[in-house]
Amino acid sequence: MFVQVCLYFYCKCLWRCLKFVVRKLTGQCELQRICYNTKPGAARTMKIEASLKGSKSKRLQTSVNVHPDAIEKTIDDIMELKRINPDINPQLGVSLQACLLQIVGYRNLIAEVEKLRREPYDSENPQHEEMLLKLWKCLKPNSPLKARISKQWCEIGFQGDDPKTDFRGMGLLGLYNLVYFAEWDTEVAQQVLSDSLHPKYSYSFAIVGINITDLAYNLLVSGALKTHFYNVAPEAPTLTHFQQTFCYLMHEFHKFWIDEDPLDIMEFNRVREKFYKRILKQLQNPEMALCPHFAASESLINM
């Protein structure tokens, strides 16, 4: 343990000495070198984030945690601290601002998603009930719901006659995502639902949607989705970006499930874990952008 601690501080000191030498040779600080030599997107933003967090300056370390309204002033503080003339380097401020908007936005998105996840479904809340009924109407427009408490809910993949009990794991976040999928890309959602009822590949659409919400949530809080969001969101990633990502993951998992040709639903955890690892591997590529836009597909199953 002592040797590891010594090696850590040695490498840290060596790295700072190297940065000092490079600055003297190039006349540019690390932030300048990143912005000038790395194209916009995840590669640049993640390097800027690591540089700020790893700085010996507390002001730079805390710059990734500022309020969005304070970003412009934070950029001015960074330029002053690094002794960079904004008149000579006007593009640097613009590049840093774009990166900070993404970094701060990602942190705020986690907070927003977490708030929804922690809010339980309340059948006494008219807004919650309205969203649940909208889900049914989007997925089954030609089949009126006969009663709020009904076995019909099983037709779209809930476990019982009252869906409120199925949202406990992901709270309102699960409902928000399912409704967004059903409303934003109705044809795809209806086709996925139809395919999920096929006896050979049968699974519960709504329950799997809540499970994929959990998968998307874990990708978000672990930081794995930074690659995707920093590549697709020019400024701060929003809840809409997260919901579009859920739609993509739901659609891709559906295709993956069929390709895996599971024996039955008991293989769900195995297939889910394999799918999760595949997405993680894709997100390790700094150029990766999970496409949130997909056209409605024809049935994936040869009936």
* Within-domain flag for 202: yes
Q: What is the pLDDT of residue 291?
A: 73
Q: What is the distance between the alpha carbons of residues 105 and 240, in angstroms, rounded to a whole number? A: 12
Do 86 and 133 have their domain in common? Answer: no
Which residues constitute the domain of residue 32? 26-117
Reduced to 3 DSSP states, what percent helix, strand and coil does the chain have, rounded to the nearest 5?
Answer: 70, 0, 30
Look at residue 303 and tell me if it is in a domain.
no
* pLDDT at site 275: 97
pLDDT the model gives residue 168: 86
- Copy the structure tokens of residue 188: 């795809």
**Would 139 be classed as within a structural domain?**
yes
pLDDT score for 85: 87
* Residue written as token pair 């809409």: 240
Which stretches of the chain drop beneath a pLDDT of 70? 1-28, 292-303
- Residue 3 has what pLDDT? 53
In a shared domain, residues 107 and 134: no
Structurally, how many domains does the chain consist of?
Answer: 2
Residue 199 CB neighbours (<10 A)? 5
Q: In the listed set 117, 139, 171, which residue is the last one of a domain according to the structure?
A: 117
The model's pTM is 0.87
pLDDT confidence of residue 4? 57
Are 132 and 279 members of one domain?
yes
